Amino acid sequence: VGATSVILSAANGADIKVLNMYRRSPKAFCMYSADDSLTTPESLKGKTIAGPAGTNLHELLASYLAGGGLTIDDVDYVNMSITDAALIAGAAAYQAKQQGYHMVADGEGLIKAIIAVAVREDFYENNQDVIDRFMEAQKRVAAFMKDNQDEVLQIVAEELDLDEEAVREMYACYDFSMD
């Protein structure tokens, strides 16, 4: 689950226990536009920008705007329709780049884009055996990914129906450290 969602949920009283980090990938979270004149936070003032509210992408927009002394109130923020600029991540961001869309910003230096592994506190307390097995499995997967990168990239490319070079390029944006 995205760290932004975890923080918002916890702030609203949700019962959440973070087990570890799944990944960090600020460069994978991007804002793209068909308008290549959108190059600064100030150039977005009054523009319509779409993206999922309460997520790392929403945090990216707020942080990027803050760099120009602006807030979300200075743009027309729409929850998820395609408009002047769109907040997208991962394969969708890669595909937007390949289709020639202009990247306004990515999360590098703006957000940490942390994805966490989390459970309810009561589940954690009552299912330690499951938690331990899950954590061990996650460590084995991380080790396999590190030791067999070419095979992993091939598997991911096949599963996502993407070119292996595309997956290789995107993979460089991700840190799968559990720390």
Share of the chain above pLDDT 70, in %: 98
Label residues 154-163 b or e (16+ Cβ within 10 Å = b).
Answer: eebbeeeebe
State pTM to two decimals. Answer: 0.65
Q: What separation in angstroms does the CA of 59 have from each of 32, 49, 52? A: 15, 13, 10
What confidence score (pLDDT) does residue 81 get? Answer: 52
Q: 27: which 2 tokens?
A: 């460069």
Q: Any idea what the Cα angle at residue 64 is, between residues 44 and 35, rounded to 5°?
A: 35
Rounded to whole angstroms, the Cα distance separating 101 from 2 reads 25
Res. 82: pLDDT tops 60: no
DSSP state of 55: S
- Give the chain's mean pLDDT: 90
What confidence score (pLDDT) does residue 53 get? Answer: 85
Q: What is the mean pLDDT of residues 20-38?
A: 90
Res. 83: pLDDT tops 70: no
Query: Which of 52-61, 76-85, 133-142 has the weakest average pLDDT?
Result: 76-85
pLDDT in tens, 98-156: 889 999 999 999 998 888 899 999 999 999 999 999 999 999 999 999 999 999 999 99
Residue 63 in 3-state DSSP?
Answer: helix
Phi, psi (deg, nearest 5) at residue 115:
-110, 125
Q: What separation in angstroms does the CA of 149 have from each of 77, 87, 98, 134? A: 39, 29, 23, 22
